[in-house]
Every structure is written in structure tokens, then in C-alpha cells.
Amino acid sequence: MNTTLLSAVRAVCVALLSLPLLAAPGRAMAAPAGERPLRAVVSIAPLKGLVEPLLPAGSTVEMIVPPGVSEHGYEAPPSKLAAMQNADLVVTVGLGLEPQIDKFLAQNRNDKRLALKFADLVGVVIAHEHTSHKHKSDGSCCNHESDPHLWLDPVMVKQFTEKLAARIAERFPDAAGTADEHPALAAAKKQAERIDAIDTAYRAAAENAQVRTIVVGHDAYGWMARRYSLSTIAIAGLTAQEPTHKAVQSAVAAIAKRGARAVFVEPQLSPAAGKRIADQARVPVLTLDPLGDGDWFSMMEQNLESLKKGLGEKQTR
């Protein structure tokens, strides 16, 4: 009896000891890169809303520039920049908008990190002298622009979404093993449909506009305006510097000449100059938000409603 009991105890002990060994192979097998959560960092809020849907479930997306703060001249604290060191993915705009981030990435290289720029993905390069430039090696033409506000143009955003998804699929393959079956590409197709709807709504509003000129807080809307055949009067330049007295007076005169119906201010900048111009020109003050809080679609929809008010509608007989 004792011998039988001892044998049974030994059998149970052996079984218990073998459990970790049986489980170990399962724990050691890492999930495919395209299925495990990714740590992503983006420079500004609009990119968060565009990047996040393309990532695996459980992924995190951290913004360097917090909502409510202008991207121009923002100095991120070291704690914010440190998030990029071990990030799987870093997405910025480019065209000189984020010099502090560019410097950090150059000084803290990480071969496991995928760093991408919106401008590079859609083929826009910084303005330069036409006589000395070289076109890209693939033969495609570059755009001679330095305006970094690409994310306000839905057509550009759709291109960015598709290119970004392709790069994610290439760098972080999933269990399917082929890039063309990657979840990021499927997510990009759904996102592209929503972007197309935004584009269609903007086109309809522009075609039905009573006036085609908008007065804006700073020169952030060039890409969007050109896309929909609108013109802009910018109180401040591309970098949102404080407008001069001459710039204010020029804006007032331009409103009268071109029939603009409103002055648009921005949540991230002082509205003082815009309100001063609006008072002198006797037009209302409306808001256009170039950054939002991390939801690109909501930002664009709210901006569209403001634009409709500022542009008016054609009178139908």
C-alpha cells in the first residue's frame, strides 16, 4: 500500500513539474509583428487620428505637441521626446515643421524604429531653387512647396493613409505572411472611404460658395484652398508670427476688395488681430481649427461647417 501511494505521489510530482516545460514553447513564440501592439509616436494631433486606426489592437499613440498648442515653435520637454527612443513607429509631417524631433531622431538612432514623414510619403519636398534642384530618382515630379500643412487637404491625406499602411504592412508583417493581406491595408481602405466623403463634402461646399476668399489667422490653408479653388488672405505667415500693423490694414482692405464675409481665428493662437480686423471690416469672427484634438475627421467636419458660414451660399432663383 505504501509503495502504491509513493508511486502515485511521484507521478503527480512529475506531471506538475512538466507543466512549465510544456507551456514554455507557447510563451517563447512571439506574435507576428503585425499582430502585436505597437508603440507609436506622432508629432501633432491630426496624425494621431489617421495613424491609430491602422495599428493592431492594443497599440498606443502618443502626441508630442499637446492639443490646444500651436505646432509652430513648440519645444517639447525631454520626457516627451524620450517616448520616441523605443517607439516602433514615429510619424511626423516633415517640411521643416518639427526640427526638434528631427534632431532627436538623428542623434538617437534605433534600427528597430520606423520613422516616416507625411511629406515624404506623398512626394512633397521643401521649396528650393528650380535651377539647382534634382527630381526624385524614381522619375516622379516633386512639388516646390514649403507649406507643411498637408493634413488639411483630404486628397493628400488619402494618399498618406494608403502609403503609410503599405509601409506598416511591409515593416510589421502579420500571421498571413503576405503584405497584401495585412490588416493595416484593410483598415486603410475603410479610412479612405471616410476621407473621400470629407473630400466630396468640401467640394460641394466650395462649388456652392457665394464668395471664394477666406481670411485666416495664419497661412495654414494653402493646400486646402488650392484643392477647392479658394483663395486665402493670411493675417500671419506660415509660422504664425505676430502680424504687423501693415498686415492688419492690408487684410482689412483685401476684405473690402474681395468681398470676404468673415475672419477665421484659431484656438491655438491669439484672436486679437483677427477680431481687430473683423471689427474694422464689419464682418463676423469664426473659428477654423488646423490641429483639433486627435480626431482628424471631427476636426475637418467642424471646419467645414465654419467654412460654409464664412463662404455663404449662392443665391438660387
List, as one string, the DSSP characters of 169-231: HHHS--TT-SGGG-HHHHHHHHHHHHHHHHHHHHHHHHHTBS--EEEEEES--HHHHHHTT-E
Lowest mean pLDDT among 33-37, 91-95, 100-104, 284-288: 33-37
What does the pLDDT read at residue 164? 99
Domain ranges of the chain: 210-311
291: nearest Cα among 316, 312, 314, 266 = 266
Of 213 and 19, the structure prediction assigns the larger pLDDT to 213
What does the pLDDT read at residue 136? 42
Arithmetic mean of pLDDT, 282-302: 97
**pLDDT greater than 50 at residue 212:** yes
Q: How confident is the model at residue 52 (pLDDT cuts 50, 70, 90)?
A: very high
pLDDT in tens, 96-123: 999 999 999 999 999 999 999 999 999 9
Of 181 and 74, the structure prediction assigns the larger pLDDT to 74
Give me the chain's average pLDDT, please: 85
Q: How confident is the model at residue 143 (pLDDT cuts 50, 70, 90)?
A: very low
Report the alpha-carbon distance of residue 317 to residue 308 in Å, rounded. Answer: 20
Q: How confident is the model at residue 247 (pLDDT cuts 50, 70, 90)?
A: confident
Report the alpha-carbon distance of residue 294 to residue 67 in Å, rounded. Answer: 8
Tell me if the pTM is above 0.85.
no
Q: How confident is the model at residue 2 (pLDDT cuts 50, 70, 90)?
A: low
> What ranges in 52-144 are assigned the alpha helix state H?
78-82, 99-107, 118-122
Helix 183-207 / helix 154-171 crossing angle, nearest 10 deg: 180
Assign domain 210-311 one CATH number from 3.30.428.10, 3.40.50.1980, 3.30.2130.10, 3.40.47.10. Answer: 3.40.50.1980
Arithmetic mean of pLDDT, 29-49: 83
pLDDT in tens, 184-210: 999 999 999 999 999 999 999 999 999
Return all residues near 192 (Cβ < 8 A) that are at least 6 apart.
158, 161, 162
| Strand order across the 89-92 sheet | 60-63, 39-42, 89-92, 114-117
How many Å is the Cα radius of gyration of the chain? 26
Question: What burial letters (b/e) apply to 2-34, b meaning 16+ CB within 10 Å?
Answer: eeeeeeeeeeeeeeeeeeeeeeeeeeeeeeeeb
